[in-house]
Amino acid sequence: MAKKLESTLINMILSLVLISMTMSAALGFVYLKTKDPIEMALKQKETDAIKQVFPDFDSDPMANATEKDGVKIYRLMLQNKLSGFAIKTFTDKGFGGHIEMMAGFKPDGTITKVVVLSHKETPGLGTKMTDAKFSSQFPGKNPSLYKLNVKKDGGQVDAITAATVSSRAYCDALQRAFNTLKSISDTIPVQP
Protein backbone atom coordinates (compact mmCIF):
# COMPACT_ATOMS: atom_id res chain seq x y z
CA MET A 1 0.00 0.00 0.00
CA ALA A 2 1.24 3.48 -0.92
CA LYS A 3 2.15 5.75 1.93
CA LYS A 4 0.01 8.90 2.15
CA LEU A 5 2.00 12.12 1.74
CA GLU A 6 2.06 14.09 4.95
CA SER A 7 0.31 17.47 4.80
CA THR A 8 2.92 20.01 5.77
CA LEU A 9 3.48 23.61 4.86
CA ILE A 10 6.39 22.70 2.60
CA ASN A 11 4.32 20.05 0.74
CA MET A 12 1.45 22.53 0.25
CA ILE A 13 3.79 25.23 -1.06
CA LEU A 14 5.45 22.75 -3.44
CA SER A 15 2.04 21.60 -4.68
CA LEU A 16 0.91 25.18 -5.30
CA VAL A 17 4.17 26.04 -7.11
CA LEU A 18 3.83 22.96 -9.34
CA ILE A 19 0.18 23.74 -10.16
CA SER A 20 1.04 27.40 -10.86
CA MET A 21 3.91 26.47 -13.18
CA THR A 22 1.74 23.98 -15.06
CA MET A 23 -1.09 26.47 -15.51
CA SER A 24 1.33 29.24 -16.59
CA ALA A 25 2.81 26.94 -19.23
CA ALA A 26 -0.70 26.01 -20.44
CA LEU A 27 -1.76 29.69 -20.66
CA GLY A 28 1.45 30.56 -22.52
CA PHE A 29 0.82 27.74 -24.99
CA VAL A 30 -2.78 28.86 -25.62
CA TYR A 31 -1.63 32.47 -26.05
CA LEU A 32 0.99 31.49 -28.64
CA LYS A 33 -1.51 29.35 -30.55
CA THR A 34 -4.23 32.04 -30.65
CA LYS A 35 -2.12 35.21 -31.04
CA ASP A 36 -1.75 35.12 -34.83
CA PRO A 37 -5.37 34.14 -35.64
CA ILE A 38 -6.66 36.92 -33.37
CA GLU A 39 -4.36 39.50 -35.01
CA MET A 40 -5.47 38.34 -38.47
CA ALA A 41 -9.15 38.59 -37.48
CA LEU A 42 -8.64 42.13 -36.14
CA LYS A 43 -6.85 43.20 -39.34
CA GLN A 44 -9.65 41.70 -41.42
CA LYS A 45 -12.27 43.55 -39.36
CA GLU A 46 -10.38 46.80 -39.92
CA THR A 47 -10.04 46.12 -43.66
CA ASP A 48 -13.78 45.41 -43.90
CA ALA A 49 -14.54 48.70 -42.11
CA ILE A 50 -12.25 50.55 -44.55
CA LYS A 51 -14.14 49.02 -47.47
CA GLN A 52 -17.43 50.14 -45.92
CA VAL A 53 -16.42 53.79 -45.57
CA PHE A 54 -14.43 54.09 -48.80
CA PRO A 55 -14.91 51.29 -51.35
CA ASP A 56 -12.99 52.91 -54.27
CA PHE A 57 -9.39 51.78 -53.83
CA ASP A 58 -7.10 49.06 -55.15
CA SER A 59 -4.10 49.46 -52.83
CA ASP A 60 -3.23 47.67 -49.60
CA PRO A 61 -4.51 50.03 -46.90
CA MET A 62 -2.29 48.48 -44.23
CA ALA A 63 0.84 49.27 -46.27
CA ASN A 64 -0.07 52.95 -46.45
CA ALA A 65 -1.09 53.47 -42.83
CA THR A 66 0.23 56.12 -40.47
CA GLU A 67 -0.69 56.87 -36.88
CA LYS A 68 -0.79 60.19 -35.08
CA ASP A 69 -2.09 60.81 -31.56
CA GLY A 70 -3.91 57.46 -31.48
CA VAL A 71 -5.67 58.09 -34.81
CA LYS A 72 -4.84 55.72 -37.68
CA ILE A 73 -4.88 57.11 -41.20
CA TYR A 74 -5.04 54.82 -44.21
CA ARG A 75 -4.03 56.46 -47.50
CA LEU A 76 -6.12 54.79 -50.23
CA MET A 77 -4.97 54.64 -53.83
CA LEU A 78 -6.82 53.83 -57.05
CA GLN A 79 -4.71 53.20 -60.15
CA ASN A 80 -1.69 54.76 -58.40
CA LYS A 81 -3.55 58.00 -57.60
CA LEU A 82 -4.79 59.15 -54.22
CA SER A 83 -8.50 58.33 -54.04
CA GLY A 84 -9.12 59.11 -50.38
CA PHE A 85 -8.51 58.27 -46.75
CA ALA A 86 -9.99 55.92 -44.19
CA ILE A 87 -9.41 57.07 -40.63
CA LYS A 88 -9.81 55.01 -37.50
CA THR A 89 -10.67 57.54 -34.83
CA PHE A 90 -11.95 57.58 -31.26
CA THR A 91 -13.36 59.64 -28.45
CA ASP A 92 -13.61 59.08 -24.72
CA LYS A 93 -16.51 61.53 -24.35
CA GLY A 94 -19.32 59.02 -24.91
CA PHE A 95 -21.94 58.44 -22.22
CA GLY A 96 -20.54 54.93 -21.87
CA GLY A 97 -16.93 56.04 -22.37
CA HIS A 98 -14.72 55.02 -25.29
CA ILE A 99 -16.12 55.00 -28.84
CA GLU A 100 -14.16 53.88 -31.94
CA MET A 101 -15.18 54.78 -35.48
CA MET A 102 -13.92 54.43 -39.03
CA ALA A 103 -14.50 57.47 -41.25
CA GLY A 104 -13.94 57.81 -44.99
CA PHE A 105 -12.77 61.08 -46.53
CA LYS A 106 -12.21 62.20 -50.10
CA PRO A 107 -8.87 63.92 -50.83
CA ASP A 108 -10.52 67.34 -50.31
CA GLY A 109 -11.76 66.37 -46.83
CA THR A 110 -15.38 65.58 -47.72
CA ILE A 111 -16.82 62.75 -45.61
CA THR A 112 -17.87 59.65 -47.57
CA LYS A 113 -19.25 57.47 -44.76
CA VAL A 114 -18.81 56.80 -41.05
CA VAL A 115 -19.07 53.43 -39.30
CA VAL A 116 -19.06 52.92 -35.52
CA LEU A 117 -16.67 50.07 -34.68
CA SER A 118 -17.22 49.82 -30.92
CA HIS A 119 -19.09 51.63 -28.17
CA LYS A 120 -20.77 51.10 -24.80
CA GLU A 121 -23.59 53.59 -25.17
CA THR A 122 -27.05 53.14 -23.64
CA PRO A 123 -29.17 50.62 -25.58
CA GLY A 124 -32.10 52.29 -27.32
CA LEU A 125 -30.66 55.79 -26.87
CA GLY A 126 -26.94 56.28 -27.57
CA THR A 127 -26.87 53.19 -29.75
CA LYS A 128 -28.98 55.13 -32.25
CA MET A 129 -25.76 56.77 -33.44
CA THR A 130 -25.35 53.66 -35.60
CA ASP A 131 -28.76 54.19 -37.21
CA ALA A 132 -28.93 55.66 -40.72
CA LYS A 133 -31.26 58.42 -39.49
CA PHE A 134 -28.38 59.94 -37.51
CA SER A 135 -25.29 58.86 -39.47
CA SER A 136 -26.72 59.84 -42.88
CA GLN A 137 -26.31 63.55 -42.11
CA PHE A 138 -22.49 63.36 -42.45
CA PRO A 139 -21.67 61.92 -45.92
CA GLY A 140 -21.07 64.65 -48.48
CA LYS A 141 -20.18 67.21 -45.78
CA ASN A 142 -16.76 68.81 -45.51
CA PRO A 143 -15.83 69.72 -41.91
CA SER A 144 -14.03 72.80 -43.22
CA LEU A 145 -17.45 74.20 -44.08
CA TYR A 146 -19.82 72.08 -41.96
CA LYS A 147 -19.66 72.67 -38.21
CA LEU A 148 -19.37 69.26 -36.53
CA ASN A 149 -21.23 70.16 -33.35
CA VAL A 150 -24.79 69.48 -32.31
CA LYS A 151 -27.22 72.36 -32.82
CA LYS A 152 -27.42 72.94 -29.03
CA ASP A 153 -23.70 73.81 -29.19
CA GLY A 154 -23.99 76.07 -32.23
CA GLY A 155 -23.24 73.39 -34.81
CA GLN A 156 -25.19 71.91 -37.70
CA VAL A 157 -25.73 68.34 -36.47
CA ASP A 158 -29.19 67.14 -35.41
CA ALA A 159 -28.58 65.36 -32.10
CA ILE A 160 -30.21 62.05 -31.21
CA THR A 161 -33.24 62.68 -28.99
CA ALA A 162 -32.34 61.98 -25.34
CA ALA A 163 -28.76 61.11 -26.34
CA THR A 164 -27.03 64.46 -26.75
CA VAL A 165 -23.87 63.20 -25.02
CA SER A 166 -23.54 60.35 -27.53
CA SER A 167 -24.18 62.76 -30.41
CA ARG A 168 -21.49 65.11 -29.12
CA ALA A 169 -19.07 62.22 -28.75
CA TYR A 170 -19.73 61.08 -32.34
CA CYS A 171 -19.02 64.62 -33.57
CA ASP A 172 -15.89 64.82 -31.41
CA ALA A 173 -14.47 61.61 -32.90
CA LEU A 174 -15.27 62.76 -36.42
CA GLN A 175 -13.71 66.18 -35.83
CA ARG A 176 -10.60 64.46 -34.37
CA ALA A 177 -10.33 62.39 -37.56
CA PHE A 178 -10.61 65.47 -39.77
CA ASN A 179 -8.15 67.53 -37.72
CA THR A 180 -5.60 64.72 -37.79
CA LEU A 181 -6.05 64.29 -41.53
CA LYS A 182 -5.67 68.01 -42.09
CA SER A 183 -2.46 68.06 -40.04
CA ILE A 184 -0.77 65.42 -42.21
CA SER A 185 -2.25 66.14 -45.63
CA ASP A 186 -1.52 68.93 -48.05
CA THR A 187 -4.66 68.13 -50.09
CA ILE A 188 -7.10 69.47 -47.50
CA PRO A 189 -7.94 73.15 -47.95
CA VAL A 190 -7.39 75.42 -44.96
CA GLN A 191 -10.59 76.34 -43.13
CA PRO A 192 -12.00 79.70 -44.37
User: What pLDDT, on a 0 to 100 scale, did the predictor assign at position 100?
Assistant: 95
The answer to whether 22 touches 14, Cβ cutoff 8 Å, is no
Burial class (CB in 10 A: 0-12, 13-18, 19+), 76: buried
CA distance 23 to 14: 14
Taking only the tens place, the pLDDT of each residue in 28-76 is: 999 999 889 888 888 888 889 999 999 889 988 888 888 999 999 999 9
Reduce the DSSP state of residue 103 to 3 states and report it. strand
pLDDT confidence band for 113 (50 / 70 / 90): very high
* Average pLDDT, integer, range 87-97: 93
Going by C-alpha positions, the residue among 131, 123, 124, 114 that lies closest to residue 177 is: 114
Mean pLDDT across the chain, nearest whole number? 89
CA distance 20 to 13: 10
